[in-house]
Amino acid sequence: MNGVILCVGKLKEKWQQQGCAEYLKRLSRYGKYEIIAVDDVKDPEKPSDALIRQNMDREGQALLRHIRPTDRVICLCIVAEAPDSVALSKKMTAWSGDGRRNVFVIGGSNGLSEAVLSRADVRLSFSNLTFPHGLMRVILLEQLYRAERIRAGEPYHK
């Protein structure tokens, strides 16, 4: 399968950069995967709800510029279906059959704008917990790698 991880912000931690690079290398056996990061919008120390929404909208517009009309957009959200690894691999098998580009979207620290969420074809959760978006990139890439191994009939940790 081919996939794009579309996300907000640059990775500041070296271990997150290394983790992403490692899983992208491992995923290269199964398809073309890439990361596209847009700039995050910094909030002041005590932003109003209106300013938070405005900043989310600005990040959302930056994300939407990288989404093509034919893309399958999979938004990572807390409130969404949370498949196990085998179920995710089955979804990926179905997604890989129609030739559409699969775009996994990770929001910034305030989440995803309504415009991005309304563009989603699928909403996917990895947990009810909140993760830093840099860590979520590593988690997503690891789970995509695990799902690719399952799809290929290779062993994986259960």
Percentages helix, strand, coil for the chain (3-state, rounded to 5) are 40, 20, 35
The fold adopted by the segment(s) 3-42+63-151 is Alpha/beta knot (3.40.1280)
pLDDT at 133 over 90: no
Indicate the domain borders of the chain: 3-42+63-151
User: For residue 153, what pLDDT is reported?
Assistant: 95
Average pLDDT of the segment spanning 139-153: 96
| Between 6 and 156, residue with greater pLDDT | 6
Average pLDDT of the segment spanning 20-25: 98
* Dist. CA 83–CA 144, nearest whole Å: 12
Cα 107 to Cα 87, 114, 133, distances in angstroms: 23, 11, 7
* Dist. CA 69–CA 128, nearest whole Å: 30
pLDDT category at 158 given cuts 50, 70, 90 is: low
Residue 60's contacts (CB-CB under 8 Å, 6 or more residues apart) are: 112, 113, 114, 115, 116
- Nearest to residue 103, comparing CAs of 69, 131, 80, 128? 69
What is the reported pTM?
A: 0.94
User: For residue 92, what pLDDT is reported?
Assistant: 96
Averaged pLDDT score across all residues of the chain:
94
* Dist. CA 123–CA 136, nearest whole Å: 15
In this predicted model, what pLDDT tens digit does every residue of 101-117 receive, in sequence order?
A: 999 999 998 999 999 99
In this predicted model, what pLDDT tens digit does every residue of 71-89 receive, in sequence order?
A: 999 999 988 999 999 999 9
In this predicted model, what pLDDT tens digit does every residue of 34-68 receive, in sequence order?
A: 999 999 998 888 889 999 999 999 999 999 999 99
